[in-house]
Chains A and B, each alone.
Chain A
Amino acid sequence: MINLKYFFKGFKLIKGMDSPALALGASFLAIGALLKDIGFNVQQSFFSTFFTYALPGQLVMAESFFVGASLINIFVAVWLVNVRLYPMSVSLIPLLKDKSQPRWKYYLSCHFLAVSSWLIMKNRYQSIDQKYRIDFWIGIGIGTWGTAIFSTLVGYFLSDYLNKDMMIGLAIVNPVYFTCMMIGAIKNRSIGLSVLLGAILGPLFFLVSPEWSILYGGLLAGTLAFFLGGKDDRPV
């Protein structure tokens, strides 16, 4: 069903020098502490990361809940901040496709799609046999998702011991990890332009419409980069 050799090859990436464990750990620790502060119990905090597993979305959820937003408002706000997962999914899943693999693997394992797992897979897919890429991906996914869930629980129980400056320190770890990893992932001109233009247009569009800034900014930046990048046959 799942090729264990490839599964563990992916799973083991959670340790090592480019491991996402620290970044995931720090940010979900902060989420766990935050959820406790706004009144979630330990089961609710566990299930929040278990079922959502998307940092910005959980942050938006926590804030919306705190100010008493309606369910519809929460749905729209979360969807907008997590909409990046759609292009991320479309730009990754085709690379993992193999005719011999059942479809359910793709529909279930897309839950593991997050910035960290996506960047790791993008960096490594070429070195993995096409047929077993999905099993490798499931291994990465279980490793990163499990780390996030575990850290949420740790954060929940540590929340009384974390002061404000420490929480601020934890909050920067994830953006730093992603910034470094993304700069390291630039493999061709169009990706370089995408990153640069996205980083400029995202905050710029925020001034016009905070909620829609990521969607509009990302769409415009990516489209510009696609056309300006020209023909570049290096891998994506």
Chain B
Amino acid sequence: MTDLSSNITLVILVTSLATYLSRFLGVVSSENIDVKSKIFRWFNCIAYSTLAALIARIVVFPTGILVDAEILIRFLVILLSVAVFFATKKNLVYPTILSGILLTVLNSLY
């Protein structure tokens, strides 16, 4: 048990270091970057595209429990939620609540 527990502590530590590393290096790199420069705009594009890549990957090829929901159902829920987002003048609360309930219900039906 001690082994497992110290192992978990190490796992948490390693995960946190691997995560903070990117945040920290980002601040270091920011020291000499001007917001009007081209390199800043390039990084801005990369930040948005990396985010989009990650979110799309989570929806199309989920790693966690989402695997157990059909891909068509996942797409349907995302599309409906985006529609609600625009229909409610960009309110974020309605689509997020709707999505959770909708997927729970649809998944228990199929």
* Residues on A facing B (Cβ under 8 Å): 17-20, 22-23, 26, 30, 34, 39-41, 44, 47-48, 51-54, 56-61, 63-65, 71, 74-76, 78-79, 81-95, 97, 106-107, 110-111, 113, 115, 118, 164-173, 175-185, 190-191, 193-203, 205-206, 210, 213-215, 217-219, 221-223, 225-226, 229, 236
Contacts and interface: CB of A to CB of B under 8 A. Distances in A.
Among A63, A89, A185, A200, the one with the most B-chain Cβ atoms within 10 Å of its Cβ is A89
Interface centre among B4, B25, B27, B49 (most CB of A within 10 A): B49
Given A172-B100, A194-B49, A213-B57, A71 B12 contact: no
Task: Give chain A's interface secondary structure class.
Answer: helix
B49 A195 contact: yes
B51 A178 contact: yes
B42 to A, nearest CB: 5
Contacts of B103: 168-169, 172
26 contacts: A30-B65, A41-B5, A51-B12, A71-B10, A75-B17, A78-B18, A85-B23, A94-B30, A110-B23, A111-B20, A115-B51, A165-B104, A169-B100, A175-B55, A176-B82, A179-B78, A179-B82, A180-B96, A183-B82, A195-B49, A197-B49, A198-B53, A199-B55, A206-B61, A214-B50, A218-B54
Contacts of B2: none
B66 A48 contact: no
Interface residues of B, number: 78
A175 B52 CA distance: 10
Interface of B: 4-5, 8-27, 29-30, 33-35, 40-66, 68-69, 74, 77-78, 81-82, 85, 90-93, 95-97, 99-105, 107-108
B50 A222 contact: yes
A205 B61 CA distance: 11
A223 B42 CA distance: 7
Given A52-B12, A87-B46, A178 B23 contact: no
- Name the residue in A181, A199, A202 with the highest tally of chain B Cβ atoms < 10 Å from its Cβ: A202
Nearest to B104: A169
A161 B63 CA distance: 23
A19 to B, nearest CB: 7
Contacts of A169: 99-104, 107
Contact of A23 (B25, B48, B96): B96
